[in-house]
Amino acid sequence: MPVILITGCSTGIGFATAETLARKGNTVYATMRNPDKAPELQKLAEAENLSITILPLDVLDDQSVETAVNKIIANEGVIDVLVNNAGVGSFGSVEELPMELLRNDMETNYFGTVRCIKAVLPYMRERKSGTIINVTSVAGKVYSNFHGAYCASKAAVEAFSESLAQETKPFNIRIALVEPGVIETPIFRKANAYPENMLYPNLKRFMSLFAASLENHVAPSVVGQVIDDIVTAKTNGFRNPAGPDALPLLSWRATASDEDWVNSVNIDDETWINFMEQGMGLNVRKYMETKGMPQFN
Would you please indicate which residues are annotated as catalytic (active-site) residues? 150
Q: Which of 216, 217, 198, 204 is nearest to 285 (CA)?
A: 204
Query: What is the rounded CA–CA span in Å between residue 142 and residue 131?
Result: 26
**Number of H-type helices and E-type strands within the chain:** 12, 7
Q: What's the Rg (C-alpha) of the chain?
A: 20
Q: What share of the chain is helix, strand, coil (3-state, %, to 5)?
A: 50, 10, 35
